[in-house]
């Protein structure tokens, strides 16, 4: 049975209710969702402050904070021995002195890599952080966090479950977290484990069936690539009850247009370039 008549979705969302089956409605715990979005700044640092430091390292998170950024986006994936690490690519080649897939390396092997020298000798000795190290650092910096689940294709469910388990069992920092992913399966899997955390569905272009996808992902926000955003789609998505985030926008003129269209937040490599727009 098709349980997707969009008007019902909108009504349920506005009433903070969740449709979990054809005829079942249950109260949705909204305690964490509004608190994250209420304090979400309009400028979020991409992979820390990727324009100023090697992406997804503790140095990058610290640089973001030094620039005045209040929230950062980072990518999490998993190792061969089921540990969580903060890394964007499925391979380590681009951003370390090593080679090969993250998923085929143990945490010990990952930790032996230099994740700073590729960017600049000033960052020699930076390592790929574990998720626990990243959460501790970002919490100590008093930032909020957009944690993007970045599974190797085929490893969506294990990745979501390993990340979810660690967040559920070990995130004692009280850090405000918005989860996100391009992968609906991963969002659903982690949503089952951590229903109290808000979730964002990532896409490049906005698909025609965006509302169905947001519903299936049980998402609270839509995150799109900047070049595909129009004023009309921002209005439509927000009218349907979702937050609208845009990545990765580094050009202040483009960012100004998006802010004028009332997007909720922009993810950027150069937060310092966009702050004068606020
Ligand atoms: O979460 C926004 C953005 O990071 C998504 O794309 O490839 O930079 O992780 P990517
Ligand atoms: Mg990302």
| Inter-residue contact 201 to 184 (CB < 8 Å) | yes
pLDDT of residue 135: 96
pLDDT of residue 13: 54
Domain ranges of the chain: 1-29, 31-277
pLDDT in tens, 140-173: 999 999 999 999 999 999 999 999 999 998 866 7
Compute the average pLDDT of residues 44-59. Answer: 98
Is the pLDDT score of 137 beyond 50?
yes
Residues with CB under 6 A from ligand 1: 46, 73, 75, 88, 148, 180, 202, 223, 247-248, 267
| Inter-residue contact 221 to 242 (CB < 8 Å) | yes
Pick from 202, 225, 269 the residue to mutate for probing ligand 1's pocket: most ligand atoms within 8 Å of its CB. 202
DSSP secondary structure of the chain: -----HHHHHHHHHTTEEE-SSS-EEE---SHHHHHHHH--SEEEETTTTTTS-TTSHHHHHHHHHHT--EEEEEEEE-TTS-EEE-SSSBSTTTSS--SBGGGS-HHHHHTS-SSTTT-GGGTT--PPBHHHHHHHHHHTT-EEEEEE-PPTT-HHHHHHHHHHHHHHH--S---EEEEES-HHHHHHHHHH-TTS-EEEE-SS--TTHHHHHHHHT-SEEEEEGGG--HHHHHHHHHTT-EEEEE----HHHHHHHHHTT-SEEEES-HHHHGGG-
pLDDT of residue 29: 44
Is the pLDDT score of 14 beyond 60?
no
Is the pLDDT score of 12 beyond 80?
no
Among 24-38, 76-90, 163-177, the range of highest mean pLDDT? 76-90
Compute the average pLDDT of residues 191-206. Answer: 96
Cα of 202 vs centre of ligand 1, distance in Å, is 8
Cα of 106 vs centre of ligand 2, distance in Å, is 22
Portion of the chain with pLDDT greater than 90, in percent = 85
Q: Domain 31-277 is of which CATH architecture? A: Alpha-Beta Barrel (3.20)
Please report which confidence band the pLDDT of residue 32 belongs to, taking 50, 70 and 90 as the band edges: very low
Is the pLDDT score of 81 beyond 60?
yes
pLDDT in tens, 98-108: 999 999 999 99
Q: Which residues have a catalytic role annotated?
A: 46, 88
pLDDT of residue 226: 98
pLDDT of residue 11: 45
Is the pLDDT score of 24 beyond 80?
no
Across 88-112, b (16+ Cβ under 10 Å) vs e yields bbbbbeebbebeebbbebebebbbe
The pTM (predicted TM-score) of the whole model is 0.90
Compute the average pLDDT of residues 168-188. Answer: 91
Residue 15 CB contacts under 8 Å (≥ 6 apart), including other chains: none
Is the pLDDT score of 17 beyond 80?
no
> Which ligand is nearest the CA of 223, by number?
1
Cα of 25 vs centre of ligand 2, distance in Å, is 33
Is the pLDDT score of 9 beyond 60?
no
Is the pLDDT score of 198 beyond 60?
yes
pLDDT in tens, 241-268: 999 999 999 999 999 999 999 999 999 9
Among 2-6, 25-29, 85-89, the range of highest mean pLDDT? 85-89
| Inter-residue contact 217 to 240 (CB < 8 Å) | no
Q: For residue 250, which of 234, 226, 228 has the smallest C-alpha distance?
A: 226
Pick from 60, 74, 75 the residue to mutate for probing ligand 1's pocket: most ligand atoms within 8 Å of its CB. 75
CB atoms within 10 A of CB 5: 9
Cα of 49 vs centre of ligand 1, distance in Å, is 13
């Amino acid at each position: 049975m098709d349980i997707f008549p969009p008007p019902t979705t909108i009504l349920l969302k506005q009433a903070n209710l969740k449709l979990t089956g054809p005829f079942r409605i249950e109260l949705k715990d909204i305690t964490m969702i509004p608190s994250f979005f209420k304090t979400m700044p309009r400028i979020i640092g991409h992979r820390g402050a990727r324009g100023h430091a090697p992406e997804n390292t503790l140095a990058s998170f610290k640089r973001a904070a030094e620039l005045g950024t209040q929230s950062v986006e980072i990518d999490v994936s998993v190792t061969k021995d089921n540990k969580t690490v903060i890394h964007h690519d499925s391979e380590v080649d681009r951003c370390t002195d090593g080679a090969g897939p993250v998923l085929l390396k143990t945490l010990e092997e990952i930790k032996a890599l230099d994740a700073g020298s590729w960017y600049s000798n000033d960052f020699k000795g930076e390592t790929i952080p574990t998720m626990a190290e990243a959460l501790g650092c970002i919490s100590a910096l008093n930032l909020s966090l957009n944690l993007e689940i970045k599974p190797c294709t085929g490893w969506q469910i294990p990745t979501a479950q390993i990340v979810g388990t660690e967040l559920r069992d070990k995130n004692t920092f009280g850090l405000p977290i918005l989860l996100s992913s391009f992968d609906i399966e991963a969002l659903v899997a982690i949503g089952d484990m951590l229903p109290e955390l808000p979730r964002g569905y990532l896409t490049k272009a906005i698909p025609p069936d965006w509302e169905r996808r947001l519903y299936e992902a049980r998402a609270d926000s839509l995150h799109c690539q900047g070049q595909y955003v129009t004023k009309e789609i921002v209005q439509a998505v927000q009218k349907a009850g979702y937050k609208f985030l845009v990545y990765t926008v580094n050009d202040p003129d483009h960012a100004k247009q998006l802010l004028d269209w009332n997007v909720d937040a922009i993810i950027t490599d150069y937060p310092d370039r966009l702050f004068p727009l606020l």
